[in-house]
């Protein structure tokens, strides 16, 4: 039996590979089998993470396992789906048992937090990279698309922005760790929390939604294009964490919040009444702007004046 066959058996024995819930058949046959409750649709997303591009190499395999699954699962949150499971196609330069044990432990931890199950995959030799395909379910017709934003809607985000981008100098070893701020930012980079419950709460309420992976301006640009509207962002309303402002200073923190990726916070649009209904349920949401007739993304200063995005290098998002 080859070492890669051993790896397959190793993952098949992981806690997150147990069959149950909507997973009828897991690892070990030609296919896995999923059951969907009547009236539900399946949500599917694939993400590839490559060493040196999407994460530093080398890095802690436990943290990598957690982060890889969180990043992928966040797409289910952006669609409002309830997680079911995932496949893992892992390419490894060698079968290092210590590395694999820690990586699987990280996967297990995030899978437990997200109610995800490992249902299959593949293992091959090569430079370290991985493709995760995630599966979720949601009532037919209630998927949160990017294309439904309506003029008059509010533009909101589900949490503080820019922390993961602020952590990059720490992740890359360019700044000293050891402070409380550094620890808080590193946690946001390595342990993003997919906003699954929020995504599900937005079903039937949000007119458009996505998870912010490329940065607020870039992802709002995607939503504006898909919806055929103008998204106006009031710069001073961006939620920035105290840790980020202390660590990076206010100006740099704002830049991270506007353009940094990797926070995996939801951005969404909805009518005022829907926002009030969610707030009444206890959700802490951040209104950062609104939807208007037009195209693209506009950034407004405290006086309500448009900031020329071109001068900041984002002219391709400008309406």
- For a second copy, give the closer residue by CB, 247 or 264: 264
Contacts 24+ apart (CB under 8 A), 174-180: 179/247, 180/243
117 φ/ψ sector (left φ>0, alpha ψ -120 to 50, else beta) = beta
> Which residue lies nearer to a second copy by CB, 64 or 144?
144
Residues ≥6 apart with Cβ < 8 Å to 286: 156, 157, 158, 159, 237, 239
Task: Please state the φ and ψ torsions of residue 95, each to the nearest 5 degrees.
Answer: -95, 90
Minimum distance of a second copy from residue 152's CB (angstroms): 22
Cβ proximity to a second copy: between 145 and 300 the closer is 145
CA atoms of 181 and 110, how far apart (whole Å): 23
78-171-48 Cα angle (round to 5): 45
Residues that bind a second copy (CB under 8 A): 1, 24-25, 28-36, 38, 41-48, 50, 53-54, 75-76, 78-79, 81, 87-89, 91, 119-127, 129, 131, 133, 135-136, 140, 143-147, 209-211, 226, 316
Q: How far is the CB of 107 from a second copy (least distance, A)?
A: 15
- For the CB of residue 195, give the shortest distance to a second copy in the complex, in Å: 12
What is the smallest separation between the CB atom of 76 and a second copy, expressed in angstroms?
A: 6
Q: Determine the Cα–Cα distance for residues 76 and 94; give it in Å rounded to an integer.
A: 31
Q: Closest approach of Cβ 245 to a second copy, in Å? A: 29
Pick the closest to residue 184 from 212, 211, 159 (CA basis).
Answer: 159
* 21 Ramachandran zone, left/alpha/beta (phi>0; psi -120 to 50): left
Q: How far is the CB of 54 from a second copy (least distance, A)?
A: 8
Q: Pick left, alpha or beta for residue 251 (phi over 0 → left; psi -120 to 50 → alpha; otherwise beta).
A: alpha
Beta carbon nearer to a second copy, 208 or 254: 208
**Beta carbon nearer to a second copy, 167 or 210:** 210
Q: Which is nearer to a second copy, 17 or 79 (CB)?
A: 79
Shortest distance, position 276 Cβ to a second copy, whole Å = 25
Run of H or E residues at 73:
helix 61-79
Residue 71 or 182: the one with the smaller Cβ distance to a second copy is: 71
């Amino acid at each position: 039996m080859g070492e890669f066959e051993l790896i397959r058996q190793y993952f098949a024995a992981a806690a997150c590979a147990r069959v149950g819930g909507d997973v009828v058949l897991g690892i070990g046959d030609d296919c896995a089998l999923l059951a969907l409750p009547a009236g539900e649709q399946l949500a599917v997303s694939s993400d590839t993470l490559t060493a040196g591009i999407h994460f530093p190499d080398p890095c802690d395999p436990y943290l990598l396992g957690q982060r890889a699954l969180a990043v992928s699962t966040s797409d289910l949150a952006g669609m409002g789906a309830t997680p079911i499971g995932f496949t893992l196609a892992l390419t490894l330069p060698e079968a290092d048992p210590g590395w694999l044990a820690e990586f699987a432990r990280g996967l297990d931890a995030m899978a437990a937090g997200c109610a995800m199950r490992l249902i299959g995959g593949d293992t091959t030799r090569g430079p370290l990279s991985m493709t995760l395909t995630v599966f979720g379910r949601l009532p037919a017709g209630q998927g949160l698309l990017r294309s439904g934003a309506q003029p008059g809607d509010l533009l909101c985000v589900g949490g503080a922005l820019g922390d993961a981008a602020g952590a990059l100098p720490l992740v890359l070893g360019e700044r000293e760790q050891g402070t409380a701020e550094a620890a808080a930012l590193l946690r946001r980079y390595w342990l993003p929390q997919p906003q699954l419950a929020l995504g599900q709460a937005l079903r039937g309420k949000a007119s458009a939604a996505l998870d912010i992976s490329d940065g607020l301006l870039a992802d709002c640009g995607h939503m504006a294009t898909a919806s055929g509207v103008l998204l106006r962002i009031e710069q001073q309303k961006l939620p920035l964490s105290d840790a980020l402002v202390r660590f990076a200073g206010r100006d740099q923190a704002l830049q991270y919040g506007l353009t940094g990726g990797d926070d995996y916070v939801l951005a969404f649009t909805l009518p005022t009444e829907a926002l009030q209904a969610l707030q009444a349920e206890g959700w802490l949401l951040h209104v950062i702007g609104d939807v208007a007739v037009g195209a693209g993304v506009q950034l407004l200063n405290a006086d309500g004046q448009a900031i020329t995005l071109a001068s900041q290098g984002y002219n391709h998002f400008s309406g």
